[in-house]
Amino acid sequence: MIAKNISQVGAAASAPMLREPNTGPHILVVEDDAGIRRANTEILTFSGYQVDAAEDGAAAWEALQLKTYDLMVTDNNMPRVTGVELIQKVQAAGMALPVIMATGAPPEFNHDALQPAVTLLKPYTFHELVAAVKKVLRAASDPLGVITPPPGWQVQPLAGRFPR
């Protein structure tokens, strides 16, 4: 009986570990460099996010037609559709999608509305990528932006402060 239990423990210990599927926010990574695309996808997946990847802006646009994303991390200089052109398409379609522009050379934006939430200059570290993702997702989930009252903050009534 004891030998049977030990062999079962050994079998369980040698079985491959199954990882729970990620249920965090859904991110679209858009990058034409396969190595960077794979690295960004892996680090974000490891960090608990659901991640899809597209090799350029045209493929990203197709993915955006099929799924809803909480955030897009995009390069700018890509074949077929650039990052700026992709942002323009997203905004023209009325999609409320926060964007991180991860690029070697930040583009000049002609309109303030096209500004990405954050621009990461290459080369960036994985820590910088994950920190930017957390910052943008946190701001996107806060209806007042990143404004949150400090702990213990007291609200004073306004009655009597305004002349009638």
Asked if 106 contacts 120 with a C-beta cutoff of 8 angstroms, the reply is no
Give the Cα separation of 15 and 56 in Å (integer): 38
Does a structural domain hold residue 151? no
CA angle (33, 95, 102) in 5-degree steps: 25
Does a structural domain hold residue 43? yes
pLDDT of 18: 45
State which residues form the domain around 44: 24-69
Does a structural domain hold residue 7? no
Residue 59: give its domain's CATH number.
3.40.50.2300
> The whole model's pTM is what?
0.73
Does a structural domain hold residue 33? yes
Domain count, the chain: 1
State the number of CA atoms in the 13 A half-sphere of 59 facing the CB: 14
Is residue 20 scored above 80 in pLDDT? no
Does a structural domain hold residue 79? no
Predicted confidence (pLDDT) per residue in 101-147, tens digit: 998 877 676 555 566 778 889 999 999 999 999 999 998 886 654 44
Asked if 122 contacts 83 with a C-beta cutoff of 8 angstroms, the reply is no
Predicted confidence (pLDDT) per residue in 45-83, tens digit: 999 999 999 999 999 999 999 999 999 999 999 999 999
pLDDT of 3: 40
Buried b (16+ CB within 10 A) or exposed e, 96-107: ebbbbbbbeeeb
